[in-house]
């Protein structure tokens, strides 16, 4: 029994087929695990309680109390619950308790209608519910018992220590050790305790790890790089002729067109080693942790269990309130913070982010998977457009930048450009490079005249000593600007 999300979905679909009604599976805390397809054209078939459960993946305390009042926590067989329009329950329900060795672990819910399913079919559905209970029990036991083994595998030094840690984790996971997994990193995680595995269905193991440096939400977002991103494409390499008419000669006289305030500031690591936990530069900050979750997958092409787990764990990190954007740090020039705001076209850094490594079969590359997951989390924190949940395969240049040691991330050529007084120039340079050096796209993205753009680019060259017509100089500056977000 794999215990993956897909297994739960298959069993829920089996119950739906047996009883001829869409089924929903929730854990004992009324957190949604899986639900069957619903293709009815009857609007009353989707009452507010069922809709909320599917959309928010949980039920309200009032709804929970209503259903528990019918004895579902003690029941060993199907329980019929009448409609209660005042509570938003417009349709009768059938509840199939999901138990294992006498302990209730969840509930399967179905909408009831006359004449309803036959006793034989309900008995068959309860047998499927028992199989669900066995999966939930295996998952709960594994997740609760394997924190130590997973932590050791992700932090062991290369060599015999790493080999021993992997052997212990393989032994604890049993047959699951050879299955397909994706490692998820959630940061910052409150406290040093891993949550219950019920928080993330499909989790083979969870553990917490110290996170070097400040948590993502507490770092100051480089003001130099803030600004409109509309129309900015991926950071493609420069192509021949991409800056036609942007050379120094063509920029002559541009100052009269764009000098009026163009350079005026507005108001307002890890290595790839197995044991490293990539994070922001600096020493350990007491109380700052990341959560690692090893999530079972059924297919490389179906990452949904990992994405679902990341969302559920981010919500758990904020006490079930979701993962709102954290208040943005004050700008270097002393601008006031704007909680949850979007300044200059960029969203504030998210408070809780998650990174997902590439799927892997087996555990041999667990250390590399953790580097990928934590690097993706760093990228999601550095660039809100990548998050709040980022897959390592989708973070572009940050796959390389997050592997650099902190000392290598900043280059002297960009130091003056990244000063608070030149944030607008730095923003212009980054958008220009994101647009592959195309002046027209850059000017449109920034909402400025081309002559203003040329003037700013000439100032960038003066400050950095770099030639923006040279591909290697452009690559160096692009990397330095992206690295500043980390």
- Identify the DSSP state of 84: B
Residue 391 pLDDT more than 90?
Answer: yes
* pLDDT reported for residue 213: 56
pLDDT tens digit sequence for 254-291? 333 333 333 333 222 333 333 333 333 333 344 589 99
131 and 168 part of one domain? no
451 and 397 part of one domain? no
CA separation for the pair 57, 425 (Å, rounded): 45
117 and 213 part of one domain? no
Cβ–Cβ under 8 Å, residues 196 and 144: yes
Tokens 């068959």 label which residue?
A: 124
pLDDT top residue among 7 and 70: 70
Q: Has residue 32 been placed in a domain?
A: yes
Query: Closest by alpha carbon to 439, among 477, 469, 472, 475?
Result: 469
pLDDT tens digit sequence for 351-370? 899 999 999 999 999 999 99
Residue 37 pLDDT more than 50?
Answer: yes
* CATH classification of the domain holding 74: 3.30.450.40
124 and 163 part of one domain? no
* pLDDT reported for residue 6: 52
90 and 112 part of one domain? yes
427 and 440 part of one domain? yes
What pTM was estimated for this model as a whole? 0.55
Q: C-alpha 279: how far from its chain's center? A: 16
3-state secondary structure of 190: strand
176 and 265 part of one domain? no
Cβ–Cβ under 8 Å, residues 305 and 297: yes
- Identify the DSSP state of 265: P
* pLDDT reported for residue 166: 92
CA separation for the pair 257, 129 (Å, rounded): 73
- Identify the DSSP state of 325: B
pLDDT top residue among 407 and 421: 421
Q: Has residue 206 been placed in a domain?
A: yes
By mean pLDDT, which of 47-56, 70-79, 130-139 is the weakest?
Answer: 47-56
Residue 457 pLDDT more than 80?
Answer: yes
Residue 194 pLDDT more than 50?
Answer: yes
CA separation for the pair 193, 190 (Å, rounded): 8
CA separation for the pair 350, 378 (Å, rounded): 11
Please report how the helices 423-434 and 439-446 are oriented relative to each other, as an axis angle in degrees rounded to 10: 130
Tokens of 51: 């809709």
State which of 53-57, 107-111, 228-232, 410-414 shows the largest mean pLDDT: 107-111
Looking at 401, 426, 447, which one is the last position of a domain?
401
* CATH classification of the domain holding 414: 1.10.10
- How confident is residue 40, by pLDDT bands cut at 50, 70 and 90? low
Tokens of 344: 């200059």
Query: Closest by alpha carbon to 437, among 289, 239, 252?
Result: 239
CA separation for the pair 200, 171 (Å, rounded): 22
- How confident is residue 33, by pLDDT bands cut at 50, 70 and 90? confident
CA separation for the pair 403, 486 (Å, rounded): 11
Looking at 118, 141, 164, which one is the last position of a domain?
141
Tokens of 69: 């009042």
* pLDDT reported for residue 366: 92
Q: C-alpha 92: how far from its chain's center? A: 37
Share of residues in the chain with pLDDT > 90 (%): 28
CA separation for the pair 93, 113 (Å, rounded): 8
Q: Has residue 303 been placed in a domain?
A: yes
Cβ–Cβ under 8 Å, residues 224 and 421: no
Q: Has residue 394 been placed in a domain?
A: yes
360 and 430 part of one domain? no
* pLDDT reported for residue 362: 92
Pairing, β 203-212 against β 180-190 = unpaired
287 and 163 part of one domain? yes
By mean pLDDT, which of 150-154, 281-285, 371-375 is the weakest?
Answer: 281-285
390 and 422 part of one domain? no
15 and 116 part of one domain? yes
Cis peptide before 299 (omega within 30 of 0): no
Q: Has residue 42 been placed in a domain?
A: yes
Q: Which residues contact residue 400 at a Cβ distance below 8 angstroms, ignoring those fewer than 6 apart?
A: none
Q: Which residues contact residue 50 at a Cβ distance below 8 angstroms, ignoring those fewer than 6 apart?
A: 24, 91, 109, 111
* pLDDT reported for residue 294: 93
Cβ–Cβ under 8 Å, residues 153 and 367: yes
* pLDDT reported for residue 238: 33
Q: How many domains does the chain have?
A: 3
Looking at 141, 167, 200, which one is the last position of a domain?
141
Residue 326 pLDDT more than 50?
Answer: no
Mean pLDDT of the region 12-29? 89
- How confident is residue 393, by pLDDT bands cut at 50, 70 and 90? very high
Residue 218 pLDDT more than 80?
Answer: no
Q: Has residue 336 been placed in a domain?
A: no
Range of the domain at 277: 148-217+270-330+343-401
Query: Closest by alpha carbon to 424, among 226, 254, 163?
Result: 226
pLDDT tens digit sequence for 235-254? 333 332 333 333 333 333 33
Tell me the pLDDT of the chain averaged across its residues: 73
Hey, how many other C-beta atoms are within 10 angstroms of the C-beta on 345? Answer: 16
Q: Has residue 313 been placed in a domain?
A: yes
Tokens of 389: 């949940």
Q: Has residue 335 been placed in a domain?
A: no
206 and 236 part of one domain? no
Residue 107 pLDDT more than 90?
Answer: yes
């Amino acid at each position: 029994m794999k215990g993956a999300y897909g297994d739960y979905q298959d069993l829920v679909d089996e119950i739906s087929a047996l009883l001829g009604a869409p089924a929903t599976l929730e854990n004992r805390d009324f957190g949604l695990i899986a639900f069957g397809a619903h293709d009815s054209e009857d609007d009353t078939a989707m009452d507010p309680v069922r809709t909320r459960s599917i959309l928010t993946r949980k039920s309200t305390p009032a709804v929970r109390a209503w259903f528990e009042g019918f004895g579902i926590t003690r029941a060993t067989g199907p329980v019929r619950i009448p409609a209660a329009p005042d509570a938003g329950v417009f349709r009768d329900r059938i509840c199939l308790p999901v138990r294992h060795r006498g302990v209730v672990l969840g509930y399967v819910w179905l909408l009831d209608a006359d004449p309803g399913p036959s006793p034989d079919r309900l008995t068959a559905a309860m047998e499927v519910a028992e199989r669900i209970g066995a999966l939930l029990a295996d998952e709960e036991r594994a997740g609760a018992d394997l924190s130590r083994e997973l932590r050791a595998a992700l932090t062991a030094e290369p060599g015999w220590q790493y080999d021993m840690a992997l052997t212990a984790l393989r032994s604890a996971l049993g047959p699951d050790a050879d299955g397909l997994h994706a490692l998820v990193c959630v940061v910052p995680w409150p406290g040093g305790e891993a949550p219950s595995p019920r928080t993330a269905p499909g989790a083979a193991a969870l553990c917490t790890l110290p996170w070097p440096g400040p948590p993502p939400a507490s770092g100051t977002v480089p003001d130099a790089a803030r600004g409109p991103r509309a129309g900015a494409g991926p950071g493609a390499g420069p192509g021949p002729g991409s800056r036609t008419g942007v050379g120094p000669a063509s920029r002559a006289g541009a100052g009269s067109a764009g000098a009026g305030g163009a350079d005026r500031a507005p108001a307002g690591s890890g290595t790839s080693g197995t044991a490293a936990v990539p994070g922001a530069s600096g020493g350990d900050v007491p109380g700052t942790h990341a959560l690692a979750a090893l999530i079972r997958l059924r297919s490389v092409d179906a990452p949904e269990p990992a994405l679902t787990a990341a969302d559920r764990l981010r919500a758990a990190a904020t006490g079930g309130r979701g993962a709102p954007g954290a208040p943005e740090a004050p700008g270097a020039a002393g601008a006031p913070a704007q909680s949850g705001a979007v300044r200059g076209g960029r969203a504030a850094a998210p408070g809780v982010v998650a990174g997902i490594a590439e799927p892997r079969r087996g555990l041999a590359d667990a250390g590399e998977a953790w580097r990928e997951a934590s690097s993706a989390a760093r990228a999601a924190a550095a660039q809100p457009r990548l998050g709040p949940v980022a897959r390592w395969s989708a973070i572009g240049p940050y796959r390389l930048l997050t592997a650099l040691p902190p000392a290598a991330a900043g280059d002297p050529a960009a130091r003056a450009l990244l000063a608070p007084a030149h944030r607008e120039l730095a923003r212009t340079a980054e958008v220009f490079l994101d647009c592959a050096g195309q002046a027209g796209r850059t000017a449109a993205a920034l909402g400025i005249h081309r002559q203003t753009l040329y003037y700013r680019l000439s100032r960038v060259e003066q400050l950095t000593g770099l030639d923006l017509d040279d591909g290697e100089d452009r690559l160096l500056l692009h990397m330095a600007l992206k690295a500043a977000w980390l």
